Amino acid sequence: MKKRIFVFFTFILFGVFLFCGAEVSASALGESGSDGVELPVIMYHAVVPDKYSADAYTVKISDFISDLEYIRQSGYTTVLPRDLIAYVRGERDLPEKPIMLTFDDGFCGVKDLAMPELIKRNQCAAVAVVGRYLRDENERKVVYGYLSLDECKQMQDGGAIEIISHSYDLHKLKPRKGACRLWRETDETYAEFLKNDTAKLQAELDKIGIRPTAYAYPFGAFDKTSNAVLRECGYSLTLTCREKINVITRDEECLFSLGRFNRHGRKKFPV
Ligand SMILES: [Zn+2]
């Protein structure tokens, strides 16, 4: 009996040794990050002066500033979609604690209020614009108005902002929600539909020399084939509204259907 117990414990110890040995050799080979880097993504929409009221999709500028300070103090570094794409391709490294900030819909307040605060702190964010909402400069309304094409170019040129796609005209609930597929559509007709919409936004952005490589699905609504279609259109990263922390590896697949946390303007950050 004693012998049996001895054999049992020897077996266990050998197993522990093997397990620990594997861990040591993995990090010694520089693969400690092979499990991936955690990436939270925060989803903002409108940013307004403090005298306006906040809601689920509107954040007061003083709260946004507090978020930026909190992010910095917690040791996070903001990254852009292009940083993530370069990382998965092995072209560059990521900071130790990356975080991505995104602004959906393309409201003026992002340029007027949020962007100067980002630049001041050497932080950055992606701005997802809807092609059909892009305004003529003259039609611009304060705060809740939408950005113009020219403003998108200024923002992109400034370096703190990366312009990404939020579709040309899928920001609606009917006849379909966002980029969902209609029941009568086949793989082919759906792909054609999504490619056409994407090409329309690209035609607008071509006027200012921008070719986005990231796509935020309106309402986080998409079809199981959407990522493959967008990949064919040249996109390397897509964003949903599913609230989860992402894990980024060197596998290009990991950048599709990234989760995001909505920053509710009346709740406490972090969301
Ligand atoms: Zn939206």
In a domain, 14, yes or no: yes
Distance 121 CA to ligand 1 centre (A): 26
Distance 130 CA to ligand 1 centre (A): 8
Whether residues 91 and 183 share a domain: the answer is yes
Distance 53 CA to ligand 1 centre (A): 19
Residue 191: pLDDT over 90: yes
Residue 99: give the domain boundaries.
Answer: 35-262
Per-residue pLDDT tens over the stretch 86-143: 999 999 999 999 999 999 999 999 999 999 999 999 999 999 999 999 987 656 666 7
Whether residues 3 and 120 share a domain: the answer is no
Per-residue pLDDT tens over the stretch 5-46: 444 444 443 343 333 333 333 322 223 355 899 999 999 999
Rounded mean pLDDT of the chain?
88
Cβ atoms < 10 Å from Cβ of 92? 11
Whether residues 202 and 237 share a domain: the answer is yes
How many structural domains are present in the chain? 2
Distance 38 CA to ligand 1 centre (A): 24
Per-residue pLDDT tens over the stretch 40-89: 999 999 999 999 999 999 999 999 999 999 999 999 999 999 999 999 99
Whether residues 9 and 136 share a domain: the answer is no
In a domain, 199, yes or no: yes
In a domain, 221, yes or no: yes
In a domain, 99, yes or no: yes
Whether residues 1 and 15 share a domain: the answer is yes
Distance 166 CA to ligand 1 centre (A): 7
Distance 116 CA to ligand 1 centre (A): 22
The DSSP H or E segment spanning 151 is helix 149-158
In a domain, 104, yes or no: yes
Residue 182, pLDDT score: 98
- % of the chain with per-residue pLDDT over 90: 82
Distance 221 CA to ligand 1 centre (A): 10
CATH number at residue 104: 3.20.20.370
Whether residues 103 and 177 share a domain: the answer is yes
The three state secondary structure string of the chain is CHHHHHHHHHHHHHHHHHHHHHHHHHHHCCCCCCCCEEECEEEECEEECCCCCCECCEEEHHHHHHHHHHHHHCCCEECCHHHHHHHHCCCCCCCCCEEEEEEEECEHHHHHHHHHHHHHCCCCEEEEECHHHCECHHHCCCCCCECEHHHHHHHHHHCCEEEEECCCCCCCCCCCCCECCCCCCCHHHHHHHHHHHHHHHHHHHHCCCCCCCEEECHHHCECCCHHHHHHHCCCCEEECCCCCCEEECCCHHHHCCECCEECCCCCCCCC
Whether residues 64 and 125 share a domain: the answer is yes
Q: pTM, whole model, 2 decimals?
A: 0.86
In a domain, 2, yes or no: yes
Whether residues 51 and 172 share a domain: the answer is yes
Residue 135, pLDDT score: 84
Residue 33, pLDDT score: 52
Residue 102, pLDDT score: 98
Whether residues 225 and 212 share a domain: the answer is yes
Residue 138, pLDDT score: 59
Higher pLDDT, 145 or 10: 145
Whether residues 71 and 112 share a domain: the answer is yes
In a domain, 213, yes or no: yes
Whether residues 96 and 16 share a domain: the answer is no
Distance 217 CA to ligand 1 centre (A): 8
In a domain, 267, yes or no: no
CA distance 171 to 69: 32
Residue 35, pLDDT score: 81
Residue 219, pLDDT score: 98
Residue 157, pLDDT score: 97
Distance 64 CA to ligand 1 centre (A): 18
Whether residues 95 and 177 share a domain: the answer is yes
Per-residue pLDDT tens over the stretch 161-177: 999 999 999 999 999 99
Distance 9 CA to ligand 1 centre (A): 59
